[in-house]
Chain A
Amino acid sequence: MAESAQSTTGDDERIKQISPLRQALIRPELGGMVGTVAVFTFFLLFAFDSGMFNSQGVLNWSIVSAQFMIIAVGACLLMIAGEFDLSVGSMIGFAGMMIAIFSVTMSWPVWMAIIVTFVLCVSIGALNGFIVVRTGLPSFIVTLAFLFILRGFTIFLPQTIERKTIIGGIKDTAEGDWLASVFGGKIGQGFFTWLGDAGIIATFERGTREGQPVVDGIPMLIIWAIGLIIFGHVLLTKTKFGNWIFAAGGDAEAARNSGVPVNKVKILMFMFTAFCATVFATCQVMEFGSAGADRGLLKEFEAIIAVVIGGALLTGGYGSVLGAALGALIFGVVQQGLFFAGVESSLFRVFLGVILLGAVILNTYIRRIITGER
Chain B
Amino acid sequence: MTEDSKFHHGDADQKEPIIRMVNIEKHFGSVIALAGVSFDLRPGECHCLLGDNGAGKSTFIKTMSGVHKPTAGEIFFENRPMHFEDPRDAISAGIATVHQHLAMIPLMSVSRNFFMGNEPTRKVAGINFFDKKQADEITMEEMRKMGINLRGPDQAVGTLSGGERQTVAIARAVHFGAKILILDEPTSALGVRQTSNVLATIDKVRSQGVGVVFISHNVRHALAVGDRFTVLNRGKTLGTAKRGEITPEELQDLMAGGQEMAQLEGSLGGTV
Contact A240 B128, CB 8 Å, known A5-B140, A15-B151, A246-B108: yes
Contact indicator A247/B130 (Cβ below 8 Å): no
Contact indicator A259/B158 (Cβ below 8 Å): no
Contact indicator B129/A239 (Cβ below 8 Å): yes
Query: What 10 additional pairs, Cβ within 8 angstroms, besides A254-B105, A255-B117?
Result: A243-B108, A246-B108, A247-B112, A250-B107, A253-B102, A260-B116, A318-B107, A371-B106, A371-B158, A372-B160
Minimum CB–CB distance for B168 against chain A, Å: 12
Contact indicator A250/B149 (Cβ below 8 Å): no
Contact indicator A18/B158 (Cβ below 8 Å): no
Which residues on the A side are within 8 Å of B210 (C-beta)?
none
Contact indicator B151/A18 (Cβ below 8 Å): yes
What does the 1/0 interface line of A112-153 toward B look like (CB < 8 Å)? Answer: 000000000000000000000000000000000000000000
Contact A238 B129, CB 8 Å, known A4-B144, A243-B112, A257-B99: yes
Minimum CB–CB distance for B164 against chain A, Å: 11
Minimum CB–CB distance for A244 against chain B, Å: 8
How far, in angstroms, from A170 to B65 measured CA to CA in the complex? Answer: 60
How far, in angstroms, from A260 to B119 measured CA to CA in the complex? Answer: 10
Decide if B182 is an interface residue (CB 8 Å cutoff): no
Which residues on the B side are within 8 Å of A259 (C-beta)?
88, 91, 117-118
Chain B, residue nearest A319 (CB): B107
How far, in angstroms, from A8 to B104 measured CA to CA in the complex? Answer: 24
- List 28 contacting pairs A-B, 8 Å CB cutoff, sorted by A: A4-B144, A5-B144, A9-B149, A11-B149, A15-B149, A15-B151, A238-B130, A238-B132, A239-B128, A239-B129, A244-B116, A244-B117, A246-B112, A247-B108, A250-B107, A251-B102, A251-B106, A254-B116, A257-B97, A257-B102, A257-B103, A258-B118, A259-B117, A259-B118, A317-B108, A370-B156, A370-B159, A371-B159
Chain B residues proximal to chain A, CB less than 8 Å: 88, 91, 97, 99, 102-108, 112, 115-119, 121, 128-130, 132, 140, 144, 149, 151, 156, 158-160
Contact A372 B116, CB 8 Å, known A250-B105, A254-B104: no
Contact indicator A240/B119 (Cβ below 8 Å): yes
Chain B, residue nearest A11 (CB): B149
Among B102, B119, B132, B158, contact of A372 (Cβ-Cβ < 8 Å): B158
8 closest Cβ pairs, A-B complex = A372-B159, A250-B105, A259-B117, A371-B158, A258-B117, A240-B119, A12-B149, A317-B107
Contact A251 B159, CB 8 Å, known A238-B129, A240-B130: no
Which residues on the A side are within 8 Å of B88 (C-beta)?
259
Chain A, residue nearest B105 (CB): A250
Which residues on the B side are within 8 Å of A370 (C-beta)?
156, 159
Decide if A276 is an interface residue (CB 8 Å cutoff): no
How far, in angstroms, from A255 to B117 measured CA to CA in the complex? Answer: 8
Among B91, B99, B158, contact of A373 (Cβ-Cβ < 8 Å): B158
Contact indicator B105/A251 (Cβ below 8 Å): yes
